[in-house]
Structure formats: structure tokens, C-alpha cells
Chain A
Amino acid sequence: MKVTYNWLKEFVDLKIAPRQLAEKLTMAGLEVTALEERGGDFVFEIEITSNRPDWLSVFGVAREVAAITGKKLKPPLIKNPKPLPARQAGKNQDLAKVSIRVENKKDCPLYTAKIIRGVKVDPSPEWLRKRLESVGCRSVNNLVDITNYVLFEQGEPLHAFDLDKISGGVIAVRRARDNEKITTIDGTQRMLSAQMLVIADKDKPIAIAGVMGGGESEVTPATRNLLLEAAVFDPIAVRLGRQKLALQSESSYRFERGVDLQTVVSASQRAVKLILDLCGGELVAAVTSGSAKVKTESIAFDLAASNSMLGVDIPPAKAGNILKALGFKSRPAGRMKLGVCVPAFRQDVTSEVDLTEELARIYGYEKIPVTVPRVMPVILPAADRDFAGKIRSILIGLGLDEAVTYSLVDNNSAAGLLADAPLEVANPLSKEQAVLRTTLIPGLLKSVATNLNQKQQYVNIFEIANVFSFTASGHREELCLGIALCGVKPNFIAEQGVIKEEASMMHIKGALETLFHRLGLGNYAFRQAGGGFEVVFGTEALGRAIEISSAILGRFEIKGRRVFAAELNLAKIFKLAVINKKFKPLPLYPSIARDVSFLVKEGIPAADILQAAAGEAGALLEDARVIDYYKGKQIPAGLKSLTISCVYRSQERTLTEEEINPVHASLVARLKSKFGAQLR
């Protein structure tokens, strides 16, 4: 909201420079977001928080300025203009016969109408035009400008109807009927519905209450007689109406936040005075429905508790003065206790803590000391977050970069990826953000595509984030790990040349094996599935790895590249992880190693060979693993070369060559007989 320095000066004796005033307002909770010199005046743009409708006017801000600068507030001088006695109203007497019918008091606790006859609608005088323009309001004509002027000055929205366009001498405040229509003053025809509050004459709605007037009854240069409305409408009714119509106005903005009943009276009087002065005419009637009387709230305020919550020591006299300057009435009510009466314009103040805030604001947040609380540390058991951190550091060590991608995605993004039914957003911004993702893979593919477009040779990324889906019992929100690998990574330059690594399914497997090992997760198995594999623990699936099909890659505009991806359910894995590792004593006796290189048929799985080796060699074989693998020109087609390293050890004695030679020989013989291995 905008206010000007000179306008404020009408209500408070300003001795402080505009820049300093801006600083003080900001530090009192009226954040000045811009200060601009304009035509000999200074315009303050202030961000008003939604709890303070009383600040949505020049007078309201002036009250605050008076409190923070220690000056007196000068209320606008308003004489209550009296309507002409009926006998003087002469031939226009029938005009004064307007009745107000309020359908529901809750919707409109107070409605006042002033009937003025014989006005002359003209352009506004320069002072009025300039002042409105300085706060960003376009000048229309003297009548409309006066209603806006009083709106900005006092915060009470007013509306002027052309009295001659109101039929039946009736002003009804009622809920609209379904399919009623109105053309508002912006020229738009709007369809109304039953929950909207309207002002109507005998036949039809003439305004959307508190939001915008109707075009038919609006004031024009031809208007001679008018009805000036000043009223209070139910904040929720106004809010629902303007939301439904997507129509925000200065008026609805204030009614939604709450307009003070007593301001209705003063604003209406102020406007009538200005109209009679600037537009001529006579006030012939004043009609009111409802009452401006409000029950004043009284709060028993424990200043000691308030001081203690702030960490300050404000004495009762000072507290009383601060509250008084803000318009509260306070009286001592025992030691460090005050009885505080809340003024009608402060509907936001209902409890002690509200008063504490008022004290703190005016006392100054900057004067509150700086202390540190005594914090009792609570050690919680390791949570998902700790495991996620561990996984992150393992994957970083493996050379993967962490990505963060959007949780909201296109409904089609997971097509072809065996995804569950997604949860839909009821009010998405666009089709691209219509559902919550059921898998992390599409987000990673999008990032892979972004980077390939940037001519990156390789993209190895992962993300740790939640996935969501429908389930029979409601919805699922589970932490997952997604990995995507693509391209050739030049690992480092050695004397032999560049050591390169091309992403493959085995890199995915290697990353997962490393993860599981470091998390202390044994007893899992990789199971071939489709173009990739599944990770299972017993019967439970922990995740999967796939090579992304070219059809899916095409959707992400990735061409001519292979992309390998994996997704693991971390929620399940964390339950299986072993936090407390146990030490295994180091072996006492030396080992003897024997390597065996041989050719076998390509289709024979390495695991079968190792298993057979272990079965044959017995307890002395501590470990057998594949240490070399070759397939290519130097080997007959259909065969592969494997080298297995066998480590023999006894827990009771130093083994001798003589002891091991026959064991190893029978192992080799077993490989020959079972798999047709040909020694190299």
C-alpha cells in the first residue's frame, strides 16, 4: 500500500525526515519496500501484513507513526452533516424514501446509505487528482475520486450508486441466486452463484457486495442524485465471492481483512462533507441498518509473564504509555498486571500474546537482549537421513554426481517403466507437473538428456528422494535411490594412456554391491529380469536395474546412447542395514594362493563355476573369485577365458605346498569335468 509524507502530516506532527521515517516504520513491522520523491511529496510503498487491516489507510499508518515518534495523533475534523428537514426536501422528497433490507445480519452487520440530490459530476480539482495519482489511483471524476480518497484515508470502502438507476426504492443485501448475472463497472459480464453476497434493487443485483459495483448503476457525468453506500460485509463471504470470480479490488482486499464498524460512520460523514463541498447538492436522507456499536474486548494482561517471554524488563508505566499511544485503554490491575481495553479497529488483538507483540514492536526488537537457551540434547536413533547421507558419500566416492529433480511430473513420464498408479494434483500449474512421481528414473533421464545436449561425454548421476503412489490403504511415500549411467568416462591419464570406463550394467551392479557391502547388508541376491536384474532379499524385491529402451530414450530425446538405470527402495534397505558391525579376528596363519586360467563356454555363469570350485576344494579354500575375464579374437568363438584366484588357508596351522597341491589339482579336475574347462 502507498501513503505519502504530506498526507500523513495532516494527521500527525512529522518532524522526522522521510528516510528516517521509512526506517522506523520498517522496524515497527510496516516494511517500507520503496520510498520515492514525487512532485514535492514522498511516496512510501508499505507491505501491510494480513493481520493489520487498520494499517490499510493513511490515518491508520499515521496512528502508528504517532506512536513510534511520540507525537499526538490528530483525527480528521469531521462535522456530522445533517440531512435537510423533510419539508425542505421539497419535490425530491420521494427520492429520500429508500429502504434497506438486509437478508442476514451476519453478512452485513452495518449498512448506511446517504441520499444526496443535485450533485454536479465534474473532473476533480487538481489537489485531489494529484493525491490519488501519488498513491497509484487513476482519477475518474470528482464523485468517484472522493469515494476513493476516503477509502485511502480511512480504510473504509465506499460505493456511490446513481440513485435514479435503482428501481423500487429498495437496497437489498442478500446472497445471489444461481445464474443471476451482473455486468461490473469494468465492463465484464459475470455469472453469479448462490454463495456470493450482492447488493440488489427491487429487480436485480446492482453490485457484488464489497467487491465491485455494477455498470448499470454506476455514477456517470449525467448523474444528479446519488446513494452513497458505507457498510461492513462479512470477510468470508467477500473472500469466497472474489475467489470464485477471480476479481480482487481495493475494496475486497479490505473487507476480507476486516473493516472497523466505527470507521463506517466517520468515513461516510467525511465523504458527504467532501461531496457537498466539491460536487454541490444537498443531503436529503441518511438511512441505516444495523449498528456501529461493538462489544469492546478487555484483556487481563500479565506484564511479568510478557516481560519474561521477551527477555526484557518493561515497567508498567511504560507499557501503559505504549498501549495508549496505539489506541488501547489500560489501567493498573495489581502488581505488574494491567487491564487492557482493545479499540474497535484492532480486531486482531484477542489475547495477551497479541499485547506482548505490541509492546515488543514499539519498545523495539533491537533493544531485546541476545541470550542462548539451555538446550537438552536428545539423541535419536539413526534415521533414514543418516543412511541417506552414508549412501550419498559412497556414491560420490564411486564418481557419481548428486542430482535434485522435481517431484511433480508429467503423467506420461513414467510410461514403460513399470510404475504404479500416480497421485494426481488437483490444481496443477501445468501438464508437466500434473502428478507426483512414482519413480525417480524419468527425472534422471531428463537430466541425462540436458547434459548430453551440452556435449558431455558421460553422465553418471543419482538422486535420493521420495516417490509416491496410490495404495489400497491410502498412499505410499517412500524414500528411493535412483541411479543413471551413460557414456564413456575418461578416468585418468596413466603412462599406458587414458584409462576409460564405459558405463554398463556391470557398473550398476558394482555400485549396488559396494553400497550393500558398506551398509552391512548380506544375503541379498541379484536375479536376472528382463533386460536387467532385480535385487531381492528373500522374497522381497529391493530394487531393479534396467537398460533404458530406445523407445523411452527417444521420449527424452536421447539418441544413439545407452543409458543404464537402477532404482532401490531405501525404506526397505534401511530396515535391513546393519548398523553395528562386528570385528572378525585377522588370520593367524599365512595363506597359499593358486590361480587357474581356462576357457569355458560363454553361457556358463561364473557363479556356477565358483560354487563348484568351493564344493570340491572343501574347508581349506578360503576364497575363490574371478580376477580376469576375456572374450575376443584370441579365443575361439563361443568360449570365454576366465582366471580364478583360489586362496587356501587353515585356521589351525601353516599349510604346506604338498598339502595344497592335490586339493587344487582336484579343484581344477572338477572344473574340467563339470564345465569342460580347457586350461590355458
Chain B
Amino acid sequence: MDIDAIYTQIKSQIETAASPAELEELKVRFLGRKGMIADLTGTIPSLPAAERAAFGQRVNLLKNNTGRMLEEKMAALSVSGSAEERQAVDITMPGVAQRIGHIHPITQVVEEICSVFTRMGFCVVEGPEIETEFNNFTGLNIPLNHPSRDAFDTFYLNSKLQTPNSKLLLRSHTSPVQVRVMKSRKPPLAVVVPGRVYRPDAVDASHSFMFHQVEGFVVDRDIKFSDLKGVLEVFAKAVFGKEIKMRFRPHFFPFTEPSAEVDISCIICKGRGCSVCGRKGWLEILGSGMIHPNVFKHVGYGAKIYTGFAFGMGVDRIAMLKYGIDDIRLFYENDLRFLHQF
């Protein structure tokens, strides 16, 4: 039989095959142990010796081509699939995917806050959780025996190596990093500082002896209170939405003056008053102010050269408001039913 004719026949049959099953049948018929090509090979010994080699090569080529065509058609069928096969997929079954993990909501909120500020040109700096009394208090204009210290109850460390002048403690806020950065760098500075902080508060739904803060500060010539308002407005709208209202209330912090607490209109009731905002319509989200000249003095910046502002916020509280979480302890229990929601 003419090999070319056989090739044409094989080719057309493969091309018209409509399903993988049909293709499997063709494969057996063409390439099987008792298939067409095996038959052809079986005829070789009966040929005249001079023709055997050439015929053998052509059969071999036919075998290779047939194999290739079958493979290609099989690939094509499995890609497109027949109409019946497509119906066979139950799309209500769960999809197939690797289970990937979840980033802790506190981390997500820290990253979101830092990212808003880095987009404004701030850089992110971290500091140690074990601090000196100087960096945590004195350098920040918080005198040792003053009632302003009461707001910063602090865990002290029993360190055999510490002297009375450099008592070690667990930082009660991220503000000591202001002192660290200003001591090591000159303005202009625009820095945010995320981190863990500690205060001896008994644990309940809204208190934790360990929580997270993000501190920020800008120092340069001619930094104004109005700049503080602008930067914090960009921040609050980025995190809580463009439609929120803001207000700056005078307050007292030893390390800033003038100082302000910042409220946003309640994101739950839109300012009408609800249980989350204590019927006030406002939620306090951060403390801020112009850096006190005594802080600049402690870090060795010359008097009246620079001005700057600083602000600090509780990440846990912001995360609770943002996600509607009503118990701070959930952050530290790491219940997967909780973590998997973020």
C-alpha cells in the first residue's frame, strides 16, 4: 500500500476526531501492537533487500508523524474541550487553590498608616522597646515627680546593670524615638515610628498592657500648626474616608505646645451620636501638637531655629474602629476564626 495514501488517511481521521476517547481508539488502531504501522513494519522482511532500508525509514517517519499528530490533537482537544465535557464541570464545587495565610489585622493597619505617610514623603524608623527613663520621660519634657506622669504608668525593669540615672523601662509610648532620631540626625525630618508599647493597665475589652502606636513628627524651619492640620487631614481621610469631618481640640501633652487632640466624626453613626462614640458624634483618634522647645533643647537643637509638629495614635484603637471590633483582647488571642476575617 502506498505510504503517502496511508498518511493522508491517518491525518484526516485524526483531524476529525471529536473526543479524547475517539483519539485513544485511533492511537490503538494506528500505533498499537497490531495496528496499521505495525502491519507495515511486518511487511519489511518480505521486501527486496534493496528497498528495505528506504521503506523502513519511511515507515519510521510515518510512525513519528502519527505520534506527533495524535499528541497535538490530544492537546487541542483538552484545551477546547467538547460541549458535553464543559457541561460536565460542576462550577458550584469549590475552586482549586492553595490556602494562603492572613496578615494580622494590627500589621495591616500599621502598614496602611505608614503607607499613607510614606506617600507624603515620610520615612519609617523603629526604636527599641526597652528604653531609658530619659528618652521615655525627661527628654520629652515630662518631669519625674509631676502629675503629667500619671498618664504614663510604666513598667520598669529589674536590671542589675542599671544605675539610678539611667533606669530601664518598657517604653510607654513610641515618642522616645523622637529623641533618638533628633539626637542622631539634623532637620529636615519627616518620620513615622510604628511599634509596640506597654502600660500597666489591667486587661479588659478596651485595655491591654501591650498595644501598638504609630508616632510621627516633622521638624524643619517654618513648620506650622496649620501644616499639622493639613498632614493629619490627609491621613484621616485616607484611612477613614473622604467624607469624615475632623476637629482639633486644645489639650495638654508635656512634649508638645500648643497641643491638640484630634477627633473624627463618628464613622458608625456619621456624627449623630451612638454607643461607639458615647453619643458625642466624635471619636478621638490621636494626640498631636507643636514640638515643645524643651524637647529641642534636650536633643541639642539650637533655640528658635526649628519648629516641628508631632503626633501619636493607638493602632489597636484605630483597627477596632475601622473593622468594628469591640474587644481589644481578640488581637492577642490569635483565634483563627478572627484572623481569617482579615
User: Interface of A with B (CB < 8 Å)?
Assistant: 26-29, 31, 49-52, 235-236, 239-240, 256-257, 305, 308-312, 351, 353-354, 356-357, 360-361, 365-366, 368-380, 383-385, 389, 392, 395-408, 423-429, 433, 436, 447, 450-451, 454, 456, 459-461, 465-466, 468, 470, 474-475, 477, 489, 491-494
Are the C-beta atoms of A401 and B340 separated by less than 8 Å? yes
Q: Hey, which chain B residues are within 8 Å of A395, CB to CB?
A: 101
- Given contact pairs A311-B226, A395-B101, A403 touches B334 in the complex (Cβ within 8 A): yes
A357 partner, pick from B96, B111, B257, beta carbons under 8 A: B257
B200 partner, pick from A312, A368, A429, A454, beta carbons under 8 A: A429
B224 partner, pick from A311, A366, A408, beta carbons under 8 A: A311
Are the C-beta atoms of B293 and A353 separated by less than 8 Å? yes
Q: For the complex, what is the distance from the CA of A237 to the CA of B5, rounded to whole Å?
A: 115
B63 CB-CB contact with A under 8 Å: no
Min Cβ gap A330→B in Å is 18
Are the C-beta atoms of A375 and B188 separated by less than 8 Å? yes
Interface string of B153-177 (1 = CB under 8 A from A): 0011111110000001010000000
Are the C-beta atoms of A424 and B158 separated by less than 8 Å? yes
Q: For the complex, what is the distance from the CA of A380 to the CA of B189, rounded to whole Å?
A: 12
Q: For the complex, what is the distance from the CA of A365 to the CA of B224, rounded to whole Å?
A: 13
Are the C-beta atoms of A309 and B107 separated by less than 8 Å? no
Are the C-beta atoms of B290 and A373 separated by less than 8 Å? no
Are the C-beta atoms of A365 and B249 separated by less than 8 Å? yes
- Given contact pairs A360-B258, A385-B126, A426-B158, A372 touches B230 in the complex (Cβ within 8 A): yes
17 further interface pairs, Cβ-Cβ under 8 Å (given A366-B247, A396-B102): A29-B251, A51-B254, A311-B227, A354-B257, A360-B250, A368-B226, A368-B248, A371-B224, A373-B218, A373-B230, A376-B188, A396-B103, A401-B334, A407-B129, A425-B155, A427-B156, A428-B155
Are the C-beta atoms of A454 and B336 separated by less than 8 Å? yes
Q: Hey, which chain A residues are within 8 Å of B259, CB to CB?
A: 357
23 CB-based A-B contacts, threshold 8 Å: A26-B249, A31-B251, A49-B251, A235-B145, A236-B145, A310-B225, A369-B229, A371-B224, A375-B190, A376-B121, A377-B190, A378-B123, A399-B99, A402-B101, A407-B210, A423-B159, A433-B209, A465-B196, A470-B159, A475-B159, A475-B168, A492-B99, A494-B96
Are the C-beta atoms of B250 and A365 separated by less than 8 Å? yes
Min Cβ gap A61→B in Å is 14
Q: For the complex, what is the distance from the CA of A52 to the CA of B148, rounded to whole Å?
A: 11
Are the C-beta atoms of A365 and B156 separated by less than 8 Å? no
Q: For the complex, what is the distance from the CA of A138 to the CA of B96, rounded to whole Å?
A: 70
- Given contact pairs A27-B249, A375-B188, A493-B93, A401 touches B102 in the complex (Cβ within 8 A): yes
Min Cβ gap A567→B in Å is 17
Q: Write the chain A residue with the least CB distance to B260.
A: A365
Are the C-beta atoms of B331 and A460 separated by less than 8 Å? no
- B129-160 residues with Cβ-Cβ distance < 8 A to A are 129-130, 145-148, 150-151, 155-160
Q: Hey, which chain A residues are within 8 Å of B231, CB to CB?
A: 372-373
Are the C-beta atoms of A423 and B130 separated by less than 8 Å? yes
| Size of B's binding interface in residues, CB under 8 A | 88
- B251-268 residues with Cβ-Cβ distance < 8 A to A are 251-252, 254, 257-261
Are the C-beta atoms of A371 and B229 separated by less than 8 Å? yes
Min Cβ gap A566→B in Å is 15
Question: Helix, strand, loop or mixed for chain A's interface?
Answer: mixed
Are the C-beta atoms of A375 and B122 separated by less than 8 Å? yes
B106 CB-CB contact with A under 8 Å: yes
Q: Hey, which chain B residues are within 8 Å of A373, CB to CB?
A: 190, 218, 220, 223-224, 227, 230-231
Min Cβ gap B282→A in Å is 9
B94 CB-CB contact with A under 8 Å: yes
B31 CB-CB contact with A under 8 Å: no
Q: For the complex, what is the distance from the CA of A377 to the CA of B191, rounded to whole Å?
A: 10
Q: Hey, which chain B residues are within 8 Å of A494, CB to CB?
A: 96
The 6 A-B residue pairs with the shortest CB-CB distance, nearest first, are A311-B226, A29-B250, A49-B252, A375-B121, A311-B224, A357-B258
Q: Hey, which chain A residues are within 8 Å of B339, CB to CB?
A: 401-403
Q: Hey, which chain A residues are within 8 Å of B93, CB to CB?
A: 493
Q: Hey, which chain B residues are within 8 Å of A239, CB to CB?
A: 145-147
Are the C-beta atoms of B224 and A361 separated by less than 8 Å? no
B333 CB-CB contact with A under 8 Å: yes
Q: Hey, which chain B residues are within 8 Å of A31, CB to CB?
A: 249, 251, 261
Interface string of B277-318 (1 = CB under 8 A from A): 000000000000010110000000000100100000000000
Are the C-beta atoms of B292 and A353 separated by less than 8 Å? yes
Q: Write the chain B residue with the least CB distance to A372.
A: B230
Are the C-beta atoms of B125 and A405 separated by less than 8 Å? no
B332 partner, pick from A310, A392, A406, beta carbons under 8 A: A406
Q: Hey, which chain A residues are within 8 Å of B28, CB to CB?
A: none
Q: Hey, which chain A residues are within 8 Å of B241, CB to CB?
A: none
Are the C-beta atoms of A424 and B157 separated by less than 8 Å? yes
B21 CB-CB contact with A under 8 Å: no
- Given contact pairs A365-B249, A371-B226, A377-B121, A492 touches B96 in the complex (Cβ within 8 A): yes
Q: Hey, which chain B residues are within 8 Å of A366, CB to CB?
A: 247-248
Q: Hey, which chain A residues are within 8 Å of B332, CB to CB?
A: 404-406
- Given contact pairs A26-B249, A376-B190, A423-B130, A356 touches B258 in the complex (Cβ within 8 A): yes
B198 CB-CB contact with A under 8 Å: yes
Are the C-beta atoms of A399 and B100 separated by less than 8 Å? yes
B47 CB-CB contact with A under 8 Å: no
Min Cβ gap A441→B in Å is 14
Are the C-beta atoms of A356 and B103 separated by less than 8 Å? no
Are the C-beta atoms of B252 and A353 separated by less than 8 Å? no
Q: For the complex, what is the distance from the CA of A379 to the CA of B122, rounded to whole Å?
A: 9
Most buried by B among A240, A404, A423, A425: A404
Q: For the complex, what is the distance from the CA of A372 to the CA of B234, rounded to whole Å?
A: 9
Are the C-beta atoms of B101 and A50 separated by less than 8 Å? no
Are the C-beta atoms of A408 and B158 separated by less than 8 Å? no
Q: Hey, which chain A residues are within 8 Å of B170, CB to CB?
A: 408, 425, 436
Min Cβ gap A100→B in Å is 26
Most buried by B among A372, A380, A491: A372
Q: Hey, which chain A residues are within 8 Å of B26, CB to CB?
A: none
Min Cβ gap A556→B in Å is 13
Q: Hey, which chain A residues are within 8 Å of B201, CB to CB?
A: 429
Q: Write the chain A residue with the least CB distance to B120.
A: A375
Are the C-beta atoms of B340 and A52 separated by less than 8 Å? no
